[in-house]
Amino acid sequence: MAERITLDMNLQQVVMALGEGNPAALTVCCQLLKEGARIDPLAWDPLCNLLDLDTMGIYGSRIWILYKDVCGQKLENMIALFRANQLGQLEGVTDWRIREAIDAKLPMFDFDAIMAAVRREIPDFNRAEANAQQG
């Protein structure tokens, strides 16, 4: 797959390239930029999650389907999928399975298990949510 993000792009250009003008996809991309560091404090850059989308070839309406149908409109689930894939395909999360779930428009993942696996590797991942569940 040929990536669309290039080193000479600014944030607006990156979001537009990924979102393909789809308003819902553009909103998700902006949410990833805004909330990504809060959910994943070890992310090295706000662009990390957008780079994941680009690397997997997920653009336009497919971004919205991933967020809405696959991840249940939970940004933390979406970012957990990316991290599970990056950390060694925890809980069977792979690029291929993510794209398969998008094609099927179905939640094909056990997000509780994925979140637990990611937290074993990154204890502060989505910590605010974890603290709220414990309290």
Neighbours of 4 (CB within 10 A): 16
Report the chain (135 residues): mean pLDDT per 10 consecutive residues. 86 96 97 95 91 96 98 97 95 95 95 97 85 57
What is the structure's pLDDT at 55?
A: 94
Token pair for residue 26? 């553009």
> pTM above 0.85?
yes
**Residue holding tokens 């309406």?**
61
Helices and strands (H and E) in the chain: how many: 8, 0
In contact, 91 and 11? CB cutoff 8 Å = no
CA distance 130 to 25: 27
Token pair for residue 49? 């999650």
What is the structure's pLDDT at 135?
A: 53
- Give the gyration radius of the chain's Cα atoms: 14
What is the structure's pLDDT at 130?
A: 57
**Residue holding tokens 């603290």?**
131
Residue 112 CA to its chain's centroid (Å): 16
What is the structure's pLDDT at 44?
A: 84
Go through 82-97 and write b for each residue having 16 or more CB atoms within 10 A of its CB, e for each that does not.
Answer: bbbbeeeebbebeeeb
What is the structure's pLDDT at 127?
A: 85
What is the structure's pLDDT at 133?
A: 60
What is the structure's pLDDT at 46?
A: 84
CA distance 17 to 75: 20
Structural domain boundaries of the chain? 11-134
